[in-house]
Structure 1
Amino acid sequence: MTTEIGFVLFVLILMLLGLVFEIIRPDIILFFTLSIFILSGVLTTEEALRGFSNEGMLTIALLFIVAAAIQKSGIADGVIRKLLGNGSSIRWSLFKILTPVTAFSSVLNNTPIVVTFTPILRKWCSDQQISPSKFLIPLSYATILGGTLTLIGTSTNLVVHGMLLDAGMEGFSFFQIGLVAFPAVFFGLLYVVLFGYKLLPNHKVLLDKVNEQSKEYISQLEVGEDFPFLNKTVEGAGLRRLKGLFLIEIIRKDEKVSPVKSTTIIRQGDKLIFTGLISTIAELQNIKGLQLKTDSNLSLDMLKNGNTQLVEAVVSHHSSLLYKKIQDSYFRSKFDAGVIAVHRHRERIKSKIGDITLKPGDALLLLCGPDFDKKIKLSNDFYVTTPLKAPSILEDKKRGWFSLFLLLAMIVLVTLNILSMLKAMIILVCMLLLVRVITPEEAMKSLHLPVLLLIACAFGIGTALLDSGTASFLASGLILIAKPYGILAVLSVLYLVTNLLTEIITNSAAAVIMFPISIEMAHMMGIAPISFVLAITIAASASFSTPIGYQTNLIVYGPGGYKFMDYVKIGIPLNIIVMCSTIFMIYTFWV
C-alpha cells in the first residue's frame, strides 16, 4: 500500500465517521473531503470539478424541476385519495396504496411523493381509527422499490449512469435496471403487504400523544392587576428569554395572539401559555401578578383559532436549521411559527425550546400563524406531515396532465434511443417553462442545491479512489475474501458492502464510493463490468434497515412514532429478499 493510498483511505474513513455521527450536513462533509483531495494534490482542479458538469448530475437537477411541476398539480395525491376509500382491511388498503405509489416513484422523485402522501395517509388513518405506523414505513419502502424500476426512478441510478459515461462505457438504457430489479420489487411488495406490516407497532401520532399529556407540554399563567409590567412589551416584561420556558401564545378574552412577538403588549387578564420545561414554571410564579392556573382544562386544540394551526414537521437532511439552536435560527420570525415540542427517536427532548439543537429527522410540533403556508413554500428546511388549511398544491389538473404526458413522451424517445436522457429533460423543462406550467422561481426552489452539491462532490471523491489506486487496493481485498467461494460469493460481498454503506451514509455517496471498486473487481475477475455495476446500483438504493440511510425513511420516522428497531425488524427480511433476487437475476442473465 502506497503513501497516497493510505492518505486517501484515512480521509475516506474520516468522511464516513463524519457522515455516521452527523457532525455537519452531509453535502458539507463531502465538500470538505473533496477540498482536501484538491489541496493535497490527489486530484487536479479539473478532475475534482468534473462532477459539477456530469450528465447524471445535470439530469437529476432537471428532474427535480419536472417532479415539482407534476407534484403541484395534485394528480398523484388525487389518485391516492380516490383509491383509499374505506379501510376494510389493512392488507387490501396497503395493496391499493403501494401499487400506484411504486408506479409513481419509477418516474418521479420519491421524496416529494412521501411528503405529499404522509399527511393524506395520516388523516385517512385517523378517520378509519387505524394506526398510521402500519402504513408510513411501507409507503417509504414502496417509493424506494419503485425507484429501482427505471433510469430516472432515483438519483442513485442517474449518478451511476453518469459515472459509466464518464468512464467511457455505455450508460444504462431506460429500463435496464428495472429488468434486474422487477422481481425484487414484486416479492418485496408482496412481503410488506402480506407479512411485513404485522411487524410494525400500533403507535399514536405525535399530535394525539401530546394532546393526551398536554399538561406536560403547556402551562397557563394569568396576568393580574398587580403585575408590574402591565401594558409593557413581552421583551420589556422579561418574558422573551426565560430559563427553560417559551411563551407560545397569549389568550386575551376571545382573541388568541400567536406566534407571540417581542413587541406584543401584556395586558391585565391575559392568559400566558408557556411550553418547554414546565417544571421550571415555579420561577415565574414568584413574579407578582402572575398566577398559575392549575385547574384549567387546557389542551392543544384550545390554542388554535381561525388564523393559527397545529402542524407537525420533520427536519430535512439538508435543512439550514441543522445543528443550530432554535433561538439562533430566528425560527419564529422566519416561519411565523412557534415550536411547542421537539421529539427525537420517539422521545420528547426535555429542555428549553430555544436551547434545543436541531438534527435531521427531528419531529417538531408547531403552532403556526397565518403566514406559515406562504413562508414554507420558500424553504426546504423541513417536511410538513400534517394537512395544512391552505394546501400548496394547485388545482390546475390540465397542466398537471400535460406535464405527465410530456414526461411519458420523453421517456418513449429515450427508450427508442432517439434522445439521450439529458437532452430529453432539457427539452421537457424548457417546454414546462414556456407554457408556464412552472415558474422560474418555482423551478429554482425545486433544485435542492444541497443534494446536487453532495452528488457533484461525490463524483470527485470517486475519481480520487480510482486514480490513486485505492479502489484497486480495496477491490483486491474483497476478491481475496470472496473469490475462493465463487462468483456468487463475490457478487454477494460487493452487494453487502454497498448496502451496509448506504444504511449508514447517503445512497448517492455509497454508490460513488463503490463504483470504482466494482469496476476494478470486474476487471480482476474477467467479467463484464455492467453486471457488478448493476449490483451496486440496486444495493445503494435498497436502504430498509435504518431510518438514516434513505431520506424517505427519515421523513416518516417521527410522524410514524417509530423506534430504530422497527426499521430493523421489518427491513432486514426485505433487504434479504431484494439482495437474493438481485443477485439471482444478475448471475442468471448478466454474468
Structure 2
Amino acid sequence: MTLPMDAGLTALVVAGMLAVLTLTRTAPDLVFLGGVVVLLLTGVITPAEAFSGFANEGVITIAALYVVVAGLRETGGIQWIVHALLGRPRSLRRAQWRLTAPVAFLSAFLNNTPVVGMLIPAVNEWARKLELPVSRLMMPLSYAAILGGTVTVIGTSTNLVVNGLLIQDGGEGLGILDIAWVGVPVALAGLLFMLVFNRHLFPDRRPVMDKIDDPREYTLEMLVEPGGPLVGRTIEEAGLRHLPGGFLMELDRQGTLLPAVSPQERLQAGDRLIFVGVVDSMADLQRIRGLSPATGQVFKLDGHRADRVLLEMVVSDTCPIAGMTIRDGQFRNRYNAVVIAVARNGQRLHGKIGDITLRPGDTLLVEASSGFLAQHRNRRDFFLMTQIQDSAAPRHDRALVALGILIAMVATAASGLLSMLEAALAAAGGMILSGCVGMFNARASLDWSVLLTIAAAFGISAAMENTGLARDLALGITALAGELPWMNLLGVYLATALLTALITNNAAAVLMFPVSLSVAQDLGMSVLPFAVTIMFAASASFATPFGYQTNLMVFGPGGYRFSDYLRAGIPMTLLTGAVALALIPLIWG
C-alpha cells in the first residue's frame, strides 16, 4: 500500500531518529526535539500536538517526583532507604535480586514512575558504595517495575485503559487480580532471566577513570556524636567498613589509639575515627547520621551545614598562611571557611587538623558557604578551586518529615484519594514548605533532559497516529496471521509490542484495541483474550529507552546507549511474550 506523503515523511523522521540514536551518542532530548521540529515545520503536526507533552500529566508528575526525591536526598532519607531495603549484598547477582524483587512487588500495586523515581538516586549511591557497575542495576530496576505492573489490572495505566475499553465495548471488564494468572509467571520468568543472564544482557558502563586510583588521599577525623544512632553499633553495622576509595585507619578512644580496628568493634560516644581516602569517600562520611567533623570550627560558621558545600583547593606558593599551622593562620577567620581534611602527595598526615602546617601544593578539603567559590575565584591564595557536587551535609532533623511526606504521597495515590499527579505535586510542595529542600535545590533537581525527551515523544506519537502510519503497521502485521486464532494472538502481540517501542504504550493499546476487536469478530471469538494480549504486549516496552517512562528515567543515570536497550530488551520481549501467549489461550480459551 502506498503511504500518503505525511505518513511517508513521518516514517523517514522516525527511521532517522532511530538511526541517530543507534549509531551515535547524540543526546536523546536533542534527537526527539529535532524530530518534533521537522514534523512541525513540514505541517505534519500542529503546534498544539507538537508540544502537548509539556502539559501531559505524566511529564508533570515526573517533574514533581524529582523535587520529592531531592527532599529525601537532602534529609538523608535516601540513605535510610538504601540501608533498610537494599542492605549490603556480597555479589552483583544478590544485589540485583535484592533490588528487583521488592520493586516488582511494589509496582503491582503502585504507579511505576514514583517507585523508580525514588530508587534511582538510592541505587546510584548503593552501587557506588558496593563498587558495583550501576549500569547493571538501573535497567533491571526499570524492567522490574514494568514486570510488576503486569500482575494486576491497576499495575499500569495501560491495563486500566484497556479494561476501560472492554467495559465501553459492553463487556464486564476484569477484576484486579484476574490477569495475575498470567502476570505472576511472566514477572517471575522475566526476573529470573535477568538474574541468570545479567552479565550478558546489561553492559558495564563504568567510566575508565573509575578504575584509576585518585592520587589525592585525604586524612579526615570524624567524631561519634554522643546520643547519636551510631553509639553501641559495630563498625560494620554502622557502614564504616566498606568505604569506596577509603578506609578507617585508626580509632582514638579517650587518648588510646586502636590502629587495627576490628569490624566488630562497638562505637562509643566521643570516639575519634581517623579515615584515609579519596574525596568522594570523605564527602560520604559527611552525610552519615551520627558522625560530625572532629574540628568544632564547622559549627562556628554562619548558617546551617546543609546550606554549605565542600570544595577542593590547592595551596599556592603566594598563600599568606603557607608555612603556618591551620590554627595559627586563623583559616576560619581569614576565609570564613573551615579545613576538614588535607591531602599531601599521598602522605598520611597525623595529628589534629588544626596542628597541620600548610605547604604549597597541599590540597585542602574545605567546608564553606555556597558563595565561597565566586568570592575567592580571583584570589591568588589558592589554585584549582573546585566545588564537590552534592556535598552538602543532610538535614537529618527533617528525615522523618521527608519520609512521612513520601508515605503520605504513596498512600493517597494508592487509595485513589488523590491522583498520582495531585499526590506528587502535594508532596513536592510539602518538601519545600517543610524545609526538607530549598527552592534553589528544588529547581536544580529537575532533569530537563529526561523531561524534554518524554514530552517530545508525545509529538512523535501524535504524528504516527494522525497520519495513519501506526494503524497501517498494526494492520500489516495482523493481516499475515490468516485465520488461526493463536497466530492472530501472536500478530496482535507483535504489532502492539512494535508500536509500544515506537510510541507510548497507552497510545499503542488504544490503537490496537479496535484492530483486535475486528479480528475477534471475524474469527467469531471473544475479544477478552485479545484484550489481555494487548495488556501484556503494551507492557513489553523493554527494547527502546522511549518505550516507557521508566526506561528514559534510567537512561542517563545508567550511562546507557540506545543499542543497550535493543540487546537486553528484545530477548526480554520475546521471553515474556512466549510465556504470556502460552497461558492466555489456556485461561481465556
TM-score, normalised relative to structure 1? 0.55
Partner of 1:124: 130
Other structure's SS at 1:405 match: helix
Contact 1:403 1:432 in 2 (8 A): yes
Partner of 2:338: none
Partner of 1:231: none
1:16 aligns with 2:45: no
Partner of 1:282: none
Provide Cα deviations, 1:300-320, integer angstroms capped at 9, x if missing partner. 9999944289xxxxxxxxxxx
Provide Cα deviations, 1:109-131, integer angstroms capped at 9, x if missing partner. 53562443233334335xxxxxx
What residue identity is the alignment partner of 2:443?
M
Pair 163,117 (structure 1): closer, same or farther in 2 beyond 3 Å: same
1:579 aligns with 2:577: yes
Contact 1:522 1:532 in 2 (8 A): no
Contact 1:465 1:516 in 2 (8 A): no
Pair 49,428 (structure 1): closer, same or farther in 2 beyond 3 Å: same
1:493 aligns with 2:494: yes
Give, in angstroms, the shift of residue 478 of structure 1: 1.4
Partner of 1:397: 399
Structure 2 gaps of 5+ residues are 217-310, 323-343, 350-360, 368-372, 378-382, 521-526
Give, in angstroms, the shift of residue 479 of structure 1: 1.5
Contact 1:102 1:143 in 2 (8 A): no
Partner of 1:445: 444
Pair 204,456 (structure 1): closer, same or farther in 2 beyond 3 Å: closer
Pair 119,97 (structure 1): closer, same or farther in 2 beyond 3 Å: same
Give, in angstroms, the shift of residue 64 of structure 1: 3.2
Partner of 2:46: 44
Distance 1:446 1:586 in 2: 43
Partner of 2:535: 534
Partner of 2:6: 4
What residue identity is the alignment partner of 1:371?
Q
Distance 1:308 1:459 in 2: 46
Contact 1:471 1:516 in 2 (8 A): no
Contact 2:161 2:506 in 1 (8 A): no
After TM superposition, list the pairs within 5 Å mapping 1:493-512 onto structure 2: 493-494=494-495, 497-498=498-499, 501=501, 509=503, 511=505
Other structure's SS at 1:540 match: coil
After TM superposition, list the pairs within 5 Å mapping 1:90-129 onto structure 2: 92=94, 94-100=96-102, 102=104, 108=114, 110=116, 113-125=119-131
After TM superposition, list the pairs within 5 Å mapping 1:60-209 onto structure 2: 60-81=62-83, 92=94, 94-100=96-102, 102=104, 108=114, 110=116, 113-125=119-131, 132-133=132-133, 137-138=136-137, 140-150=139-149, 181-193=183-195, 196=198, 206=208, 209=211
Pair 47,150 (structure 1): closer, same or farther in 2 beyond 3 Å: same
Give, in angstroms, the shift of residue 174 of structure 1: 9.4
Give, in angstroms, the shift of residue 141 of structure 1: 0.4
1:307 to 361, 365, 377: 365
Give, in angstroms, the shift of residue 403 of structure 1: 1.4
Distance 1:7 1:144 in 2: 32
Pair 76,163 (structure 1): closer, same or farther in 2 beyond 3 Å: farther
What residue identity is the alignment partner of 1:13?
A
Distance 1:424 1:35 in 2: 33
Pair 481,96 (structure 1): closer, same or farther in 2 beyond 3 Å: same
Other structure's SS at 1:458 match: helix
Contact 1:57 1:452 in 2 (8 A): yes
1:480 aligns with 2:487: no
Distance 2:162 2:176 in 1: 16
Distance 1:304 1:584 in 2: 67
Contact 2:63 2:446 in 1 (8 A): yes
Provide Cα deviations, 1:501-525, integer angstroms capped at 9, x if missing partner. 47xxxxxx56477456534643542
After TM superposition, list the pairs within 5 Å mapping 1:41-440 onto structure 2: 41-81=43-83, 92=94, 94-100=96-102, 102=104, 108=114, 110=116, 113-125=119-131, 132-133=132-133, 137-138=136-137, 140-150=139-149, 181-193=183-195, 196=198, 206=208, 209-211=211-213, 305-307=363-365, 371-373=387-389, 396-414=398-416, 418-440=417-439
Aligned residues: 424
Partner of 1:469: 468
Pair 520,205 (structure 1): closer, same or farther in 2 beyond 3 Å: same
Distance 1:203 1:23 in 2: 14
Pair 73,524 (structure 1): closer, same or farther in 2 beyond 3 Å: farther
Pair 489,194 (structure 1): closer, same or farther in 2 beyond 3 Å: closer
Contact 1:140 1:556 in 2 (8 A): yes
Partner of 1:522: 516
Contact 1:101 1:139 in 2 (8 A): no
Pair 525,88 (structure 1): closer, same or farther in 2 beyond 3 Å: same
Rg larger for: 2
Other structure's SS at 1:307 match: strand
Distance 2:446 2:313 in 1: 30
Partner of 2:340: none
Partner of 2:458: 459
TM-score, normalised relative to structure 2? 0.55
Distance 1:203 1:427 in 2: 36
Pair 201,456 (structure 1): closer, same or farther in 2 beyond 3 Å: closer
What residue identity is the alignment partner of 1:493?
L
Partner of 2:249: none
1:31 to 30, 33, 39: 33
Contact 2:493 2:537 in 1 (8 A): no
Distance 1:456 1:144 in 2: 21
Give, in angstroms, the shift of residue 145 of structure 1: 0.9
Distance 1:149 1:51 in 2: 26
Give, in angstroms, the shift of residue 431 of structure 1: 4.1
Give, in angstroms, the shift of residue 469 of structure 1: 1.9
Distance 1:18 1:196 in 2: 27
Partner of 2:247: none
Structure 1 gaps of 5+ residues are 126-131, 215-256, 271-296, 310-331, 337-366, 375-388, 503-508
